A and B are shown apart, each in its own frame.
Chain A
Amino acid sequence: GAVVSQHPSRVICKSGTSVKIECRSLDFQATTMFWYRQFPKQSLMLMATSNEGSKATYEQGVEKDKFLINHASLTLSTLTVTSAHPEDSSFYICSAWDAGIFHEQYFGPGTRLTVT
């Protein structure tokens, strides 16, 4: 099946710094990628939809100036958490949509962000 990778898998940063998370589709082109956040013992919450070559669409309550999304190519989307705070500590998961035959969404393995 299709593979989506995320990098890094785990990151610890200090308050006030910025962190970039990469999401790559490895064997298919993804015109659309999604970014989710998951807090402990909670379900996945969609943060934003990232479309290649255009601005991301953010869900209500998600600050677009804080969570910068760039989808510069058909295989790469990045999420940058700017001026991170401890409350941003979470598990961030991306998914890539394969609009081919199967119309499947494939999840990356996730990135555990800890802000100290």
Chain B
Amino acid sequence: EDKVVQSPLSLVVHEGDTVTLNCSYEVTNFRSLLWYKQEKKAPTFLFMLTSSGIEKKSGRLSSILDKKELFSILNITATQTGDSAVYLCAGTNNAGNMLTFGGGTRLMVKP
């Protein structure tokens, strides 16, 4: 059975801190690892990682995938209160049509 595990479950930091969120996966016929940010509604897409060792960046967020060790990390530098959200990672299969979600990491950034 496919499994995606995220850690920590929750995290409280202060503005300006840097955080690292972890995601490990066991997905049959793995193709990609996706990161999402979820505030009050549906998840919004952040990154899709398909290749090992290639960092993807978007502003203060970056992410990298290790296909040998089967994990990914999401880094957020200089956190802001607007970064407070649940961050979800999901593994997708070869066809790209099945997502297995992790349990999420709830991040709270205090002023």
Contacts and interface: CB of A to CB of B under 8 A. Distances in A.
Interface of A: 32, 34, 41-46, 49, 93, 95, 97, 99, 103-105, 107-110
A93 B88 CA distance: 14
Given A93-B42, A109-B41, A110-B41, A43 B103 contact: yes
How big is chain B's contact interface, by range? 10 to 19
Contacts of B104: 42-43
Contacts of B97: 32, 97, 99, 103, 105
Interface in B82-111: 88, 92, 95-104, 106
Interface in B37-86: 41-45, 48
A75 to B, nearest CB: 17
Contacts, number: 43
Interface of B: 41-45, 48, 88, 92, 95-104, 106
A44 B41 contact: no
A42 B99 contact: no
21 contacts: A34-B99, A43-B101, A44-B88, A44-B101, A45-B101, A49-B98, A93-B42, A93-B43, A95-B99, A97-B96, A97-B97, A99-B97, A103-B95, A104-B48, A104-B96, A105-B92, A105-B97, A107-B43, A107-B45, A109-B42, A110-B42
A43 B42 contact: no
Nearest to B88: A43
Would you call the interface of chain A mostly helix, strand, loop, or mixed? strand
B24 to A, nearest CB: 15
Given A41-B106, A99-B97, A110-B42, 16 more contacts: A32-B97, A42-B103, A42-B104, A43-B88, A43-B102, A44-B101, A45-B101, A46-B100, A49-B98, A93-B42, A103-B95, A103-B97, A104-B48, A104-B96, A105-B99, A107-B43
B88 A103 contact: no
A104 B95 CA distance: 10
B42 A107 contact: yes
